[in-house]
Amino acid sequence: MQSNQPDYRQELCRERHERIEARLGKHGEQIDSLEKCTIKLTEMVDRYDKLAQRQEERITALESRPGLLVEHVLGYAASAILGAVGSALVSHFLT
């Protein structure tokens, strides 16, 4: 028995399918938005990593400065002492 009335089960399936398609479309938009945010966050993390690396290099350079100053002072002191000893020896042997 076939009638001209629509099959309600088929109509119900079609409506459900349309709702599912609409939800999938919204989820696709959300996924696209999340991908854009992920790209921006990745770029920010990369920038901050580079900035942190430069800061570490600066800190290391600043921390090594007092050591360099001590080395310079010791070098000058050693030069002065060796110069004085050398002068004393030269003057001792020449006189």
Q: Look up the pTM and report it.
A: 0.47
Question: DSSP for 33-89?
Answer: HHHHHHHHHHHHHHHHHHHHHHHHHHHHHHHHHHHHHHHHHHHHHHHHHHHHHHHHH
Q: pLDDT tens digits, residue range 1-52?
A: 455 566 888 888 999 999 999 998 889 899 999 999 999 999 999 999 999 9
